[in-house]
Amino acid sequence: MAVVVAYGSAILKALLLVVGYLICLGVYRLYLSPLAKIPGPKLAALTFLYEAYYDIICRGRYTWKIQELHKKYGPIVRINPREVHINDVNYYDQIYASGSQHLRNKIRHMATHDESMFDTFDAETHRIRRAAMSVSFSKRSIRALEPVIRATVEQLADRMEALAGSDRIVNLKELYSGLTMDVIGQYCFGESMDNLKQEAFGKEFLDFFHSVPQGHPVGRMFPWLYDIIQKIPIRILARIDNKLQPLADYEKKISSQITDVLAKSKPDGIRTVFHELRDSKQLPESDKTLDRFKAEATIFLGAGTETTAAALTTISYYLLEKSDRLERLRDELRDAFAQNPAEPITVAKLETLSYLTGVIQEGIRLSFGVPGRLPRIAPKEELVYAGFKLPPGTVISESSYLIHMNEDLFPDPHAFQPERWINDKAGLSGNFVPFSRGARMCIGINLAYAELYLTTATVFSRFDFELHGTTQDDVKVCHDFFVGMPYLESQGVRVKISSADFYHQGRLDPGACDIITEKQLAKSEPQNVEA
């Protein structure tokens, strides 16, 4: 009996300690924290469960709740016990600064082992890893990659030509994802993933990159859970759940591809990203492991596939929604190449076309590749906003969705208006942050633009499309799983494909779509802009 009483007393003391700790923690967060005076709901300041409800239970909806909070509390809001969210594009460059005087660390918002450059938390380590691959993604390097991109776009056009007139209903996102994954696969491994050659365009890989981000809110809330899962070999997990078999096959495939790339002293074709990383003198040997390169490959393929394909899908829907947009784009393409129809299409040439550029900018803006916040920590600086002091170590963020949906910056923000970018008299470029800014700005920006320009110009000069069972809801982003997604029941932008009359009638000479040669590329003058 005495043992039972003693055991019960110990449990009671433990419970009292836990309750006492929680009370002290709550008092600190609400009244003593350096963030205590920052506006926001008390429940958000008290517990992370407030955020978890909107992001886990409501499936990636906290970004929209934050938008509501800003309308209620103003441009600075405390959104969880340790994070402040600011909705002011004029302060964006302060948060996402660059340079040795303005170090910005990441927080652990997804369960990783800090191996890829993208997920590197420490600013100094990130700087070294980024420098090692920056040459591969510079504008000059992407210009040299144009023949590869162009050839892959031609494969896409061949598949569309085969589907034209067949009455088959095609999901454009799947087609475009096959394209973008094939491009980044070639640049990473020296060989295509061959999605465009497959009947379903590599759907098993694409489904994987669509489903994995949906676990992002759980990973951000409970990173320890992902730590446990990641320690279990994927081949074992695939035996437990057959749905994970494509992931096991994927890991095996990229491991083999990276091993082959690293074994070749001289690449057979293009010099890939992993050749550059292997030979980099900036990168320490400890970073040149197969496991770390696999982590980089996963990020490259995921980021290089999903966001660009989403932008192309959004562009396609809005061009097809109103025929006058498509006709204006075609007129501009026809006029651009009318004087010299045999001139090859190059990114440098396409970038001079104002309406095409507006179409692409609006497609990027409304596809919201990464709509939500990108948390940063200034480890050595005290930042100040609207009179509120944010001490070193404070987690601070902004969201591209809130900026791009700001009516003062982008009038009628939900509308697809390529015209707003022509001449950009309103200075919209300064409010355009889909690739973020600063030291951690998206390294793939030049590759993304090259794919967008070449694909949009080629596809809409050659083919007509009829929307099938598709509405604006199928491209309207309403979930933030780090990457933006439309409602989860959406079947995507579905179309029937037919050949475009104006292409076959000679309004745009087929010669204008020839693949550029290395000699022609050398004659062009690539813009000296680095990623």
Binding positions for heme: 442
Six token digits for residue 40: 């926001």
The Cα–Cα gap between 322 and 327 comes to 9
Closest CA to 354 of 432, 425, 408, 412: 425
Q: Of all helices (H) and strands (E), which one includes residue 290? A: helix 290-321
Pairing relation of β-strands 494-499 and 463-467?
antiparallel
The Cα–Cα gap between 87 and 92 comes to 9
Distance, CA of 58 to chain centre: 22
Contact of 226 with 111, CB cutoff 8 Å: yes
Contact of 400 with 341, CB cutoff 8 Å: no
Coil, strand, or helix at residue 109? coil
Coil, strand, or helix at residue 465? strand
Annotated binding site: 442
Q: Where are the alpha helices (DSSP H) in 49-171?
A: 49-52, 62-73, 92-95, 123-134, 139-144, 146-163
Closest CA to 341 of 180, 511, 120: 511
User: Exposed, middle or buried by CB within 10 Å (0-12, 13-18, 19+), for 186?
Assistant: buried
The Cα–Cα gap between 177 and 203 comes to 9
Name every residue whose Cβ is closer than 8 Å to that of residue 458 and which is 6 or more positions away in sequence.
153, 154, 156, 157, 345, 513
Query: Per residue in 497-508, is it b (16+ CB within 10 Å) or e — as a string?
Result: bbebebbeeebb
